[in-house]
Amino acid sequence: MLEGVPDSSTATAKIRARKPKLDRVLADALDLAREAAEEAGDGIGDHLSVEAETDRVVTHYFDCSLAGYRGWRWAVVLTRAPRARVATVSETALLPGPDALRAPAWVPWSERLQGGEVGTGEVLPTEEDDDRLMPAYQLSDDDAVDDLAAELGVGRTRVMNREGRAETAQRWYDGDRGPTAPIAEAAPAPARCGTCGFFMPLAGSMRLAFGACANLYSSEDARVVSADHGCGAHSQISEFVDTTPQGVEKSEIIYDDEGSELL
């Protein structure tokens, strides 16, 4: 590069950084811009501003008075040919302003769906690339499942992988069937599901930590519970608390005769 001669890239950058000058012919064509906006739609309000886009191109903004479009603006783009003194309409559009009332960003259903929301009669498709599953013709990463599948020669299209099982176990453990649930904390300390005769362990790698409750009288019946969960319907509850009539706390007898009437 010759000394004293500006670099071409620097000159280009300065041209791009130069703020376009507002064209007075186009800026003064307010009536033309309003007429174009009124032809495009309804609710044309006050003129808000005019901004230069590039040389001989400006945008006129009008307030939108339509119900439900608070903060929106009608935009009318005007332009003119070089050395021409007449403005022409390039395009019109209804655009949101900085404080416009707009619908929230779209969130895919798979990200909006919460646990337990699939109800009776509803169908939930599972994505092909669900990171909790893997093809069943591969090893399931669960020794108990692999041994059983090899022995019986049966299988499913997809099975849960290690990540999926770990995620499930953590969710169950932290939920209402884990050791910190109110019913478990209220039960006698030794009355844990893992030592209950109604506890039916799950198969595979989950069997050490989870099982299904099979006690008809328990509120946890037919539900998966952790081995250190508990309730007052433990099969050996009488070993942990005094369940004889003498040991059961009785409520105070209260007589209420205000609702009685003599016959």
pTM: 0.49
Q: Which residue has the tokens 């929106």?
A: 72
Query: Is residue 111 very low, low, confident or very high in pLDDT (cuts 50, 70, 90)?
Result: confident
Statement: residue 6 has pLDDT above 60: no
Statement: residue 252 has pLDDT above 80: no
Of residues 148 and 189, more confidence is placed in 189
- In this structure, of 2-6, 99-103, 179-183, 208-212, the range with the lowest mean pLDDT score is 2-6
Whether the CB-CB separation of 88 and 80 falls below 8 Å is answered with yes
Q: What is the mean pLDDT of residues 197-218?
A: 91
Query: What is the side-by-side order of every strand in the sheet holding 72-79?
Result: 44-54, 57-64, 72-79, 88-96
The rounded distance, in Å, linking the Cα atoms of 152 and 150 is 6
First vs last C-alpha separation in the chain: 119
DSSP 136-189: TTS--S-HHHHHHHHHHT---SEEE-HHHHHHHHHHHHHTTTSTTSHHHHHS-T
- In this structure, of 142-146, 221-225, 233-237, the range with the lowest mean pLDDT score is 142-146
Which residues contact residue 9 at a Cβ distance below 8 angstroms, ignoring those fewer than 6 apart? none
Q: What SS3 state is found at 156? A: coil
Tell me the per-residue pLDDT of 129-145, one tens digit each, with 9 for 90 and over.
888 887 776 666 777 77
Whether the CB-CB separation of 212 and 176 falls below 8 Å is answered with no
Of residues 154 and 177, more confidence is placed in 177
Looking at residue 249, its pLDDT comes to 54
Q: For the chain, which residues make up each domain, given as ranges?
A: 24-96, 129-160, 164-226
Mean pLDDT, the chain, whole residue set: 83
Tell me the per-residue pLDDT of 38-92, one tens digit each, with 9 for 90 and over.
999 999 999 999 999 999 999 999 999 998 888 999 999 999 999 899 999 999 9
Statement: residue 2 has pLDDT above 60: no
Q: Which residue has the tokens 């769906």?
A: 113
Q: What is the mean pLDDT of residues 23-43?
A: 94
Q: What SS3 state is found at 13? A: helix
Query: Is residue 153 very low, low, confident or very high in pLDDT (cuts 50, 70, 90)?
Result: very low
Of residues 224 and 106, more confidence is placed in 224
Phi–psi pair at 104, nearest 5 degrees = -65, 160
Looking at residue 18, its pLDDT comes to 73
Helix (H) or strand (E) holding 60: strand 57-64
Identify the CA nearest to 230 among candidates 245, 243, 215, 208.
215
Angle at 197 between CA 192 and CA 201, to 5 degrees: 75
The rounded distance, in Å, linking the Cα atoms of 240 and 186 is 13
